[in-house]
Structure 1
Amino acid sequence: MSAFSDALSVTASGLRSQAARLRVTAENIANVDTPGYHRKLMPFETTAGSNGLARVAPGEVSLSQEPLEEIYDPSNPLADETGVYQGTNVDLMIEIADAREAQRSYEANLKMFDQTRQMSSALLDLLRR
């Protein structure tokens, strides 16, 4: 049964990581029009469990170092004397693609979790006979 619990713990780590990735992506999408907002980036890290199995974990969130978009709008209260203010460096299309990829990865981990649970349940049913 240890193999089943190992598989469940690995897939659970994938679920947690993809959920964190979706959260960061949702924050970026919510702030796509916020002046001065820097895109958040979240890498994944591999961690070793107590039994030697590798697991995935969300890394530390960092801010993108890409330059902010400069927007010309002299009527904006944030504009300087030249009529320019700094927008954001979030690209909505990239964020939507990242969200879709994270969603698909989450669904794949969830399917793996469910398959493992079903196999362990079937094994227990066989052992009861």
Structure 2
Amino acid sequence: MDPLKSIAQIAASGMSAQSARLQVVAENVANADTTAKSAGGDPYRRKTIAFEEYLDRESGLNMVRVADVGRDNSAFSLRYDPSHPAADPDGMVKISNVNPILEMANMREASRSYEANLNLYEAGRKMRGLMIDLLK
């Protein structure tokens, strides 16, 4: 197998995984301040993402992919708001368990990982171009 094609395939699998991670982070941030719609209900529960390494049998390369998109089962925050439709008898409303600061850190890490994979892809593309130029 062409080693430069292998670089591109590995980098592409990394970019795909980080893209999925950014989508999960974006959904979490968008729902950070949600509450339940009715009394006793639960608000948006933060999503988590896990990756796994796998062997692509066709190419023989170790790649990365999304293994699971799960839910963070940590406790919801409570806010006192007796006028809210989802307030319990004590006037407390459940707030989503999304921590925007944590999500921003995850977004930055995913963005940088995506960029690193993109740089790897571009380096492989440039090497392929140089190799073609040498063969002329």
Give the TM-score taking structure 1 as reference length. 0.95
Aligned partner of 2:122 in structure 1 is 114
Deviations 1:85-124 (A, max 9, x none): 2111000000000000000111111011000000011001
Alpha-carbon distance in 2 for matches of 1:8, 1:113: 5
Alpha-carbon distance in 2 for matches of 1:89, 1:5: 42
Cα shift at 1:52? 2.7
Give the TM-score taking structure 2 as reference length. 0.91
Cα shift at 1:12? 0.2
Aligned partner of 1:87 in structure 2 is 95
1:35-114 to structure 2, matched below 5 A, reads 35=35, 36-50=43-57, 51-114=59-122
Aligned partner of 2:30 in structure 1 is 30
Does residue 125 of the first structure (1) align with residue 128 of the second (2)? no
CA RMSD after TM alignment: 1.0
Alpha-carbon distance in 2 for matches of 1:74, 1:95: 29
Tell me, what secondary structure is at the counterpart of 1:60?
strand
Gap regions ≥5 residues in structure 2 = 36-42
Gap regions ≥5 residues in structure 1 = none
Aligned length: 128
Greater share of residues in strand: 2
Percent identity, aligned pairs only, is: 41
